[in-house]
Amino acid sequence: MTDTAATATDVTVPTDTGDVPTRLWLPPSGEGPGIVLLQEIFGVSAYVRRRATDLAALGYVVAAPEIFWRLGVTDPVEGEDALQQGMGLVQRLDWQQAVLDASATVEWLRDRDEVTGGVGVVGFCFGGGLGFNVAAHLESEGATPVDALVSYYGSALPGLHDVMSVSAPSLHHFGLADSFIDTDTVRRIEASLGKEPQTVVVTHPGADHAFDNDDMPWFHAGASGEAWARTEEFLAEQLPTD
């Protein structure tokens, strides 16, 4: 992952019920396709910022909204009890409002002068499920759909995959040793999502949940590297930067 030295700007995304605090990264060229990057339950953490920097280095304009802002939380969740803190925040969160805030970020980013191509969504864990719901919401509302979706081990997918669909090109990563989404559930999600012709599900043997987060004990270097290579390839095809 790229060092976090790349400069991010603090911005806000306006909505009818308040402004969403958001961090914005620009690529070296200053312009390119857009990506809304959706956080894990730990917020826009150092890890998420590293991935934002990676995406900006590839040529994307990246916006990472603070999804917990309506709970008064805009700092990363850290410490020995970070998992418990994060899960507590998710339990208090208004999910539908989070979908609206993230959807507003997609539409806001699409209107930015720096965004010269389409707009995609990349989400990890909590953000992976949220991203799927955002993509489905925009399609169901008749709004401009996302141009691409990449979801890493979307934690809400077990409850979403059979009640909504996403026709936009999408790539989903799951570990087959996931402590939170068992293999049978992964296979059901894979079968359900696979009904859409532009959907690809990639499974990673031996990888636990959050296998891409190198700050966590579940990090799996092999799965992380393979998944990111597939992600780069998918984004280059769906959201070309040149």
Q: What is the pLDDT of residues 104-148, one digit of tens each?
A: 999 999 999 999 999 999 999 999 999 999 999 999 999 999 999
Amino acid of residue 180: F
**pLDDT classification of 3: cutoffs 50, 70, 90:** low
In which band, very low, low, confident or very high, does the pLDDT at 1 lie, cut at 50, 70 and 90? Answer: confident
Mean of pLDDT values over 176-202: 97
pLDDT at site 6: 59
Cα–Cα distance measured from residue 53 to residue 35, given in angstroms and rounded to the nearest whole number: 12
Token pair listed for 67: 């999804």
Give φ, ψ of 90 to 5 degrees. Answer: -65, -35
What is the per-residue pLDDT across 45-94, written as a single tens digit (0 to 9) for each? 999 999 999 999 999 999 999 999 999 999 999 998 999 999 999 999 99
Please say if the pLDDT value at position 204 is more than 80.
yes
Tokens of 12: 């806000």
Rg of the Cα trace of the chain? 16
